[in-house]
Amino acid sequence: MRAAFATRFDDANPLAALTVGERPEPTHPADDWVTVQVRASSLNHHDLWSLRGVGLRAEQLPMILGCDAVAVDPDGNEVVVYPVVATPGDPRGVSILSEHFPGTLAERVAVPRSNLLALPAGLTATDAACLPTAWLTAWRMLTTKGRVDEADAVLVQGAGGGVATAAVALAAAMGKRVYATSRDAAKRERIAELGATAVEPGARLPERVDVVIETVGAATFDHSLKSAAPMARIVVSGATAGHEPKVNLRRVFAMQLEILGTSMGTPDELAALLAFCAERSVRPVVDTVVPFSRVADAFARLHSGDVFGKVVVDHTA
Ligand SMILES: NC(=O)c1ccc[n+]([C@@H]2O[C@H](COP(=O)([O-])OP(=O)(O)OC[C@H]3O[C@@H](n4cnc5c(N)ncnc54)[C@H](OP(=O)(O)O)[C@@H]3O)[C@@H](O)[C@H]2O)c1
């Protein structure tokens, strides 16, 4: 079957480590696994990290990339694939598809049957393929970790990313006052259209916020601390611009801030997110939809840093 996979690592030029070609059909590590036919997938920064060699070891190569998928199950139902799989031996106890088990950027992928959720009516395959990783992460950051129901104002750093655009769209749909930073004037304009007050990185906000959504890291963390109201939650799920920021601990204890790490979400959180999007007509922010025949272009687009929202791959085209 056709697939997009890492054959080596290249930290400087991850695109050079990508191969698009043939891979063997999926195998089942246990009896409760099934093979599903992928209809749509979407890229995440995770896929670029994998090509750089972050989170994968050389002996795991070749590894099919991709965490997200909407697929057709063996009974003909359209399903959303929950990408987190129990993985004994991994220190986290779990892994995301494309880490230990082959990913979704293929004609078919094998997953435990319990990882399949029904595609809600009203959501297209290409829209729903954006939700299981970046949007699920943003949903958990806001709800379970950030306790956004107790919040009035939310700051989202690095407005162009998949997680960040999700957080802005979701927080705005929840009726919160949302601030978002971006280095790019055009992205600031677009994030404002999603309901955020857009500012330059580091700008003083008109008010302190109760929840900060951090995926940028070193470049924005000091601003996140300075923008936080007393008792605020700074929720971290990524560090695209550096994972070792300087942290002013005086501000952390004086303002009684909570700095919370999070990764992905639970199947129940994904079900809640799917229902929220379907019922509230919230749709993912899609940068581009690329046919699988041009999947390398999709990687180049993500790598360019110019994306606004999700890069989706249509496996039916
Ligand atoms: N833990 C999880 O479960 C999970 C799930 C999904 C993603 N993640 C992580 O979250 C991070 C975000 O991923 P993503 O795919 O949503 O987006 P991304 O492509 O990594 O981009 C995030 C944003 O970071 C900003 N940025 C990048 N470099 C910067 C720099 N040097 N200075 C200031 N800002 C910079 C950019 O904002 P502007 O251009 O607008 O300034 C960009 O839009 C990644 O590190 C990813 O691995 C984690």
Q: Which CATH superfamily is domain 2-130+284-314 in?
A: Medium-chain alcohol dehydrogenases, catalytic domain (3.90.180.10)
pLDDT in tens, 118-129: 999 999 999 999
Test site for ligand 1: of 156, 214, 215, 273, most ligand atoms within 8 A of the Cβ: 215
Class of domain 134-261: alpha beta
pLDDT in tens, 279-306: 999 999 999 999 999 999 999 999 998 8
Specify the ligand 1 atom closest to the Cα of 265. Answer: 3
Positive/negative CA dihedral, 202, 204, 207, 208: positive
pLDDT band of residue 197 (cuts 50, 70, 90) is: very high
Checking if the pLDDT of 159 tops 90, the result is no
Asked if domains 2-130+284-314 and 134-261 share a fold, the reply is yes
Q: Tokens for 26? A: 């999926």
Checking if the pLDDT of 51 tops 90, the result is yes
pLDDT given for residue 199 in this prediction: 98
Domain range annotation of the chain: 2-130+284-314, 134-261
Instruction: Please tell me whether the peptide bond between 102 and the residue prior to it is cis, using omega within 30 degrees of 0.
Output: no
Q: Tokens for 85? A: 């799989």
Q: Tokens for 38? A: 């992928």
Sequence-distant (≥ 6) Cβ neighbours of residue 159 within 8 angstroms: 165, 168, 180, 181, 182, 187, 188, 190, 191, 196, 198
Cβ of residue 198 lying under 6 Å from some atom of ligand 1:
no
pLDDT in tens, 99-149: 999 999 999 999 999 999 999 999 999 999 999 999 999 999 999 999 999
- Which residues does residue 178 pair with via DSSP β-bridges, in sequence order? 154, 196
pTM: 0.95
pLDDT band of residue 162 (cuts 50, 70, 90) is: confident
Q: From ligand 1's centre to the CA of 51, what distance in Å?
A: 16
Cβ of residue 50 lying under 6 Å from some atom of ligand 1:
no
